[in-house]
Amino acid sequence: MSGIEIFVAGTRLNVPESFQIVRSMPDDPEGSVPLATADSGTQGFAIVYPIDPTMVMPLNKPEEVRNGIRSSLAVDQGIIEVEGGSTTAGRPFIYSIIKTLQNPSGVQYGLTMHLQQTRNTPNATICIQAFFDEAGTTGTRDATVFEIERKLGNVRLGASGITGWTADPYDPSFSYGALMNLSEARSYDSQFPQHPLTEIRRFVDFIVASN
């Protein structure tokens, strides 16, 4: 995937060329660059801005970040991914993807990613926040995969309801909120290339590979 260059507080960042820079809003963080993208399955918005060092998530402690997120989840939210590492150019990062159920239907996937300029500049960190929503017909991925997994015997319907469909991806004992379901596994992304979860993961992968 080709990219375009943006600059945030003197830091160069490559982003996918499917994004366009859009007009800033009055409440946007100082020095931010807002971006938008859309296709038949997804509407996406991202904003990139410098972040105060005291607000940076612990880059090498993803489990600590997961625990912090769990303590603040709303009943309509759930963890999809919280991971860290280094980009191809050696820039430390950590990110979370959280899903939020929409009313009356659909799902929004929210990304928060903190990315250091270099290993030697820990106080020069940018934040990437993005929100990708289902567009058009919603729920197709869930319904299709639910039937696949039911036929495979991984999802069961019984007197106590549905079992095997949802779980926190890192802590099976955690049961609060809108837990990740089997359709949201990365292994299904290739079958739903324009689903917002596929696209937000592809965005993260591009940032990691191209910066």
Q: In this model, does residue 121 exceed pLDDT 70?
A: no
Q: Cα(95)–Cα(112) distance, rounded to whole angstroms?
A: 5
Residues 133-165 pLDDT 10s: 998 889 999 999 999 999 999 999 988 889 999
User: In the prediction, which pLDDT does 170 show?
Assistant: 98
28: Cβ contacts below 8 Å, ≥ 6 apart: 34, 47, 49
The proportion of the chain whose per-residue pLDDT surpasses 90, expressed as a percent, equals 86
The model's pTM: 0.94
Specify which residues 6 forms β-bridges with: 13
Q: In this model, does residue 21 exceed pLDDT 90?
A: yes
Do the beta carbons of residue 162 and residue 146 sit within 8 Å?
Answer: no
Q: In this model, does residue 123 exceed pLDDT 70?
A: no
Q: In this model, does residue 195 exceed pLDDT 70?
A: yes
Number of structural domains, the chain?
1
CATH for 171: 3.40.1000
Token pair listed for 137? 């017909």
What is the residue type of 124? A
**Would you put residue 184 in left (φ > 0), alpha (ψ -120 to 50) or beta?**
alpha
Q: pLDDT band at residue 185, thresholds of 50, 70 and 90? A: very high
Residue 103: CB atoms within 10 A of its CB come to 7
Name the CA dihedral angle for 47, 98, 19, 44, rounded to a multiple of 10 degrees.
-100
Residues 4-17 pLDDT 10s: 999 998 888 999 99
Q: Chain-centre distance of CA 85, in angstroms? A: 15
The predicted model gives 55-73 an average pLDDT of 96
User: In the prediction, which pLDDT does 124 show?
Assistant: 84
Q: pLDDT band at residue 1, thresholds of 50, 70 and 90? A: low
Query: Which domain covers residue 202, as residue numbers?
Result: 3-210
